Structures are given as structure tokens and as C-alpha cells.
Amino acid sequence: MRPLQKHEVAKEEIVFISNENKTIRVSDLTHYMESNYDHIFDAKTKQKEVFSQAVQSCVDSVLQGYNSTVFAYGQTGSGKTYTIFGDGFQSTTI
């Protein structure tokens, strides 16, 4: 989950995260959708924790000769590239 933007903070709370139940509920005050996950990383989660929880086992498998894939899915600007590459990523155009 990315941090809320300034224009979102003033609105009624629409995203409810339960790390205990591993659920995220999104509400527009008339309807809601709730989804269950294996693990939830909130906006305060450090990149190192995401790596150790979600990716480290994939890296270990690759080093043992197995194929592995890390797939980042989400809205533009939600932090996918940052989560995978960190601050040092330099986009280049050829």
C-alpha cells in the first residue's frame, strides 16, 4: 500500500487494512470490496522487509539453479519499480 496523497487524506477513510486478518477492504461508503492476501505490506514497510518476506526465497532458488519470477503488478506510480530496484534505479532511453 502506498501512502495517501494530500488530496486523499482529507477524504473519508476508504481503505481499511487488517494485518491480523491479512485483508484489505476498500469502501466508497455505499459498497465495499474485501480481499484476502498471504501477506500485506503497508506504506511504512521498509524495502528490506519486502525483499526478505517476498523475494529472498526466489533469489535463493535461482542461485541453486532453478527458474524464478518476481512479478510486480499495480497502478502507475504505486512504487513497483522502487520496490524492486530501490533508489539507485536509473531509467535509460535508447
10-residue mean pLDDT profile of the chain (94 residues): values are: 66 72 78 84 82 90 94 82 72 60
pLDDT at 1: 59
Distance from the Cα of residue 22 to its chain's centroid: 13
Residue 1 lies in a domain: yes
Domain count, the chain: 2
pLDDT given for residue 39 in this prediction: 82
| Sequence-distant (≥ 6) Cβ neighbours of residue 44 within 8 angstroms | none
The x, y and z cell numbers of residue 76, run together, are 502507475
Residues 10 and 26 in one domain: yes
Give the N- to C-terminal CA distance of the chain in Å, as an integer: 32
Q: Is residue 64 part of a domain?
A: yes
- Is 37 in the same domain as 57? no
The reply to whether 92 falls in a domain is no
Range of the domain at 4: 1-43
Residue 93 lies in a domain: no
Same domain, 7 and 37: yes
39 and 57 belong to one structural domain: no
Mark whether 39 and 67 lie in a shared domain: no
Contact 16, 28 (CB under 8 A): no
